[in-house]
Every structure is written in structure tokens, then in C-alpha cells.
Structure 1
Amino acid sequence: ATFTDLTGQPLQPENPTLAAAFADGCVGPDHVHAVMDVLDQIPAAIAHDVTAAAERTMAEYATWMTPPEIERAGARLLAHL
């Protein structure tokens, strides 16, 4: 979905790599939900650049992993963070 601000200008996606993969048809809704479940668990104290790198990594994994595999990989990623 595309969201707009109060002036009608389109907003950038919060997770641009994942959004691009979904728009390209490389990942499906179940993959997006699995990745978002992982990303939502990243503590707020983690630096933005680390969070952005985690989003890129998880989006890449989503292109070739199943949702259960994404959850397992996400658990390992979260353990490292």
C-alpha cells in the first residue's frame, strides 16, 4: 500500500527493501508477516543503521526462505543483536 502525509505527498516505506521485494513479486504476504514479526522484536535501543541492516538481511532471506525458516533465521538474528 502507498500511504500519504497530511499534504497528500507519498510517504517512504518504513522497510524499503521488503517493500521493494513485495512490489516485485519476490515475496508474498506470509513472508512479509514473518519478516515483520522479527523486525517488530528488535529493541528500540538498537542503532538505526543496525536495524536497517537487519531489515535488508531479512528481506533478502525472505526471497528464498519459507516463512517458518524466516522465523528461525530471525530468532538467530535477534540473539546476535
Structure 2
Amino acid sequence: MTFFLGARTIVADTVPYDLRARTMGLLSSFSLLGSGFGSLIVGELLLHYEEQQVFLFGAFLASIAFILSLKNFSHQRN
């Protein structure tokens, strides 16, 4: 729950006012979709692979997400 509050705060501080509502909606939508589909995908992976392999796969995806979060995309704004 704290993540969602922190993410909303970041959006409110960084996104221009006219795009804020759309961005908040996208954030909520992707958070809910990720929670739902993520649970289904992990459950399916656990049927076919061991727990450690599934964990390492998740850690790999989290590492990629972290590396991408370090990139500065501000030059792509209109």
C-alpha cells in the first residue's frame, strides 16, 4: 500500500497538471493489471519450474526495471 502512495506522490510532483489525471489512471490500471496477471503468471510458472528458478526470473525482471528507471527520459517530453 505504501508503494502506491509513494508512486502517486511522484506522479503528482513530476507530471504536468493537464496530464496528471490521465497518468494517475494509467498508474492505477497498470498496478491492478500487474497484480492480477502477475499472480496468474507466477502460479503457472510454479507448476513447471522450481521456486528458486521462478524467484531468479523475477529478480532478473526487477533488475531490468531498475536499470531502466535510472535512464533519464526527460529529453523525450514534448
TM-score range, shorter chain: 0.3 to 0.5
The TM-score with structure 1 as length reference comes to 0.38
The TM-score with structure 2 as length reference comes to 0.39
Larger Rg: 2
Question: Which structure is higher in RCO with an 8 Å CA cutoff and minimum separation 6?
Answer: 1
